Amino acid sequence: MKVYLVAVCAALLGSSLAAQSAVPPPAPGAQGCATIATRGLVAVGSDSACLSLDEAVARAIAQNPGMKLARSNAELADATVRATLSTGYPKIDGNVSYTRTFASPYSISKSGGDTTSKFNPDTTASLADRVRYLEKNSNLDFGSLFGSLPFGQANAYTLSLTGTQTLYSGGKGGALGRMATAYRDAAQLQFEEQAAATEFAVKQAYYGALLAQSVESIAMASVEQATAFLKQVRMLFDAGKASDLETMRAEVALDNLRPQLVQAQNAASLATLQLKRLLDLPMELPLRLTTPLAVSPSARVSDVAVAPAAALEQRPSLQAQERQVSIQTDQLIVTRAAHRPRLELQMAYGKLLYPAKVFDFGSETWRTNWTSTLSLSVPLFAGFSKAADMDKARVNLEMDQTRLTDLKASVRVEYQQALGEQSRAASSIAARQRTVDQAQRVHDLTVLRFANGLSTQLEVADARLGLLQARMNLAQATADVLLAEAQVARALGRSSAPRSIAR
């Protein structure tokens, strides 16, 4: 009878532990498991949605609001660079205009003169005859002599092209170009930094959900173990081998484990909801995580590689701050250039027409107006603003240099902390696994001893509690290793998003 009970107990324990063993999750696209699109909305169906860690990271980088803002900032910076660099090219403007003159101070035809006759002296006559002609025809319209000039014409058409090129601006043009390029690089680097931060947040949420689900499975396995033990005790009680007190103790032990199971289920549900929120997934979507909570068996402290110091210098946030220092350095040049002479060349080419009628384009000839202007402007007095502007630019440069120094120290501390946590977590994996194996063996032997009447229920409950704690510690250590690896990658600014500029 005892041999039979032990066999039943071992079978029940084995089935409960099988639920907790590392079974490969169903692959995405398998029957009853739908895939999740990287972009866009996800419809809620009857089937569960499969989601791997890589797919979660890809969706977060594509859908996360912070990533969308960083991507928009990078695009805006690129447009700003093009707009700034365009200031160094010549400016060419075209103009077409028509002017109708209703009254002009240059018009003298209304002075009372005879507008029916024209002033037409004989240039070959003697001086006395020409003077006599002037005295005789003093009432003629002398404005006809100037009728072909542009002054006071009733209709005037103008076609013109105007070009302007800055020849010298005190170094402002080159400084603005470098500032714009540095600004664009800084925005792209901030995009990479945001991608690394988003990926780390997704990994935290994903591993947190896996850990919560693992704890839920462990708690469920413990309840199943307690249930199997209660069945064993009741069978012993029916066989007269156990007392009523031992049966009640087994029932109490099972009832004490059920609240822990409910708590673990709630924690797993909340962790999954947090992951869905981060990935912009419907909260009611059934989600199945396909990446297992496991580390490579070869993961040891010796595998924790220390990156060279140059790797830290490649952190996107550090490089973005270096670009900011470069911007403030060029801002000094721009500020100084504002108080230096400015030399510009302007050229204008135009065609003018003065027809007698509005649309009479054939009666007159287009006249050419072509000019060129070279102008030099020298700021003489600006109300003592030069010293204030230069001091402001220097202070901004010193502040950004201080921020860069502080950021470098913070990145080093963050990296060393991540390395230490990774070493600690890696070193505990083997110990935790040995503890689980020992706790499992102690639990099995204690149950076997109880079946043979050599141990008490308290010993069985204590062994079960030790096994539960050992399995939870192993799950926590596994999650710690994975999170520590993610934290090291975060400290180095690494992400799966493509780097936007060449290093």
How many DSSP H helices and E strands does the chain contain? 10, 7
Q: What is the pTM of this model?
A: 0.69
Q: Identify the pLDDT of residue 153.
A: 80
Q: Identify the pLDDT of residue 456.
A: 75
Q: Identify the pLDDT of residue 164.
A: 93
Among residues 207, 206, 210, the alpha carbon closest in space to that of 279 is found at 206
What distances in angstroms separate CA 117 from CA 33, 106, 111, 137, one per listed residue? 103, 20, 14, 9
Q: Identify the pLDDT of residue 39.
A: 67
Q: Per-residue pLDDT tens for 302-313?
A: 445 566 677 788
What distances in angstroms separate CA 408 from CA 188, 319, 394, 453, one per listed residue? 19, 10, 21, 66
Task: Using 70 as the pLDDT threshold, list the residues of the chain that sit under it.
Answer: 1-32, 39-47, 106-119, 138-151, 296-308, 497-503
The alpha carbon dihedral of 77, 78, 82, 88 has a sign of positive
Q: Identify the pLDDT of residue 361.
A: 80
Q: Identify the pLDDT of residue 97.
A: 93
- Domains by residue range for the chain, with CATH: 2-63+173-331+384-491 (1.20.1600.10), 104-152 (no CATH)
Beta carbons within 10 angstroms of residue 219's beta carbon: 25
3-class SS of residue 453: coil
Q: Which residues of 342-380 are buried (b: 16+ CB within 10 A; e: fewer)?
A: beeeebbebebbbbeeeeeeeebeeeeeeeeeeeeeeee
Q: Identify the pLDDT of residue 503.
A: 41
Q: Identify the pLDDT of residue 30.
A: 44
Which residue is associated with the tokens 């890809």?
58
User: What residues form DSSP beta bridges with 368?
Assistant: 351
DSSP per-residue string spanning 166-197 = EEE-TTHHHHHHHHHHHHHHHHHHHHHHHHHH
HSE (side-chain half, CA atoms, 13 Å) at 34: 14
Distance CA 440, CA 457 (A): 17
Tokens of 491: 């400290």
